[in-house]
Amino acid sequence: PVDLGSGMFTFPEESWPQVNKAKEAELSKSLISVSKMQPKEAVSKLKVLETQHGFRRNWVWAELEQAPLANAIYHLLKMAEKAIEPFPSQSIEELKNYYIIIGFKIDQSMRKSLAILKTDKDKNAVKAVIANIYKPWLESLTHKFQSLIEKDASIFTHQTSFHESETFVLFVDAFRFELAEEFSQRLIQSKYKVELQTGWSAIPSLTPTAKPNVSPITSEISATSEINEFRPQLKSGKDLQTAAFRESLAAHNFTLVTSPGNIVPGQNHWQEIGDIDTKGHEEQAEMVKRIDELFDQVLEVIEVAFQRGIKSIKIVTDHGWLLLPGGLPKETLNKDLTETRWGRCALIKDAAKTDLLHLPWRWNPAIFIAYAPGISFFKKNEEYAHGGISIHECLIPT
């Protein structure tokens, strides 16, 4: 009806899909206006919008997925409230502790605000708010981390090989800390005993460099490797491609698990799962919709392993990643200056001079790698990236 009535004859607003649709359109316009405000003013406005629209999450239209922005506003407000707060940054340890207690929640809320949405119009409204509030926080955190690393890079340069004492190691590609923390909570709710620890990836934070560093074969990798697409060699001289990696695993008495039949209690196991990194490069910010799929896959592997008689599983990863819906800022780097250039790092030619942060490569400290400043990207505009120096890329969970 044109008139919803009044008094005892009022029709409940929640009864009408047109009312919900109109309020979603109103909220979309309001989010665009929020994206143009100063951060503190934006947070105040988001609180008002949450009051005005949050109750619609209890309407049937939300259950029918017709109120995505009413759902997104909840996560946007949580993200924004924490992102505008100052954080301690006198030391790397201080910055790390801030992130593993508070900072990761900002990433989770940003990711969830976007994962709910389906239409480009809704995504653009939410991305505008993310660019206004999340991006400055991400830039500030990364710049402060890089400035601390420039003074003392020992968390990267003092990494050493280790002997793997666990009998079942599950490698999940690009399982950054905020994902691991959320997944740990799911495991705890499912009555598993979970211990979450943190460490630092090998640098650059790319799979060819960082994956061997968390594997049982780390002691067999040459510390004077020649750099080949950021991939090291074994002490035997073999280039550490997939076949050589698997051969070395077998030599270290680790069985590569490719099916449940490979799992035998009492033996050592290495299993690999997850394509979130591939999805990130292919789908960019759309990869946020893949996280629940990843969690389901990892949980299934865990359940199967325990059913086969395994008592304890160690989950490791190679690196994290940056995600900025709308795109990371570009840093120009002349191709003529580089031997090898990836999105967030580059091998600079011997005679070339740059002002970029340079740090030793994990597998040969005589080779220095240059890193993009802040959250910038050396190549075309991308929303998803890794390989650089940031808490998001380099802080890894176990």
Give the pairing of strands 254-256 and 357-361: unpaired
pLDDT value at 3 more than 70: no
Each residue's pLDDT tens digit, 119-153: 999 999 999 999 999 999 999 999 999 999 999 99
Cα four-point dihedral sign 57, 61, 63, 67: negative
- Mean pLDDT, the chain, integer: 93
Each residue's pLDDT tens digit, 299-309: 999 999 999 99
Distances (CA, A) of 192 to 195, 242, 270, 294, 313: 10, 32, 21, 18, 11
> What is the Cα–Cα distance from 83 to 135, expressed in whole angstroms?
9
The pTM (predicted TM-score) of the whole model is: 0.93
Each residue's pLDDT tens digit, 254-304: 999 999 989 999 999 999 999 999 999 999 999 999 999 999 999 999 999
Each residue's pLDDT tens digit, 188-214: 999 999 999 999 999 999 999 999 999
What is the C-alpha end-to-end distance of the chain, expressed in Å? 58
Beta-carbon contacts of residue 385 (< 8 Å; ≥ 6 apart):
321, 322, 328, 343, 344, 377
DSSP H helices, the chain, are 17-34, 39-53, 60-63, 68-83, 92-98, 104-115, 120-151, 154-157, 177-189, 207-210, 242-251, 276-283, 291-307, 391-394
pLDDT value at 160 more than 90: yes
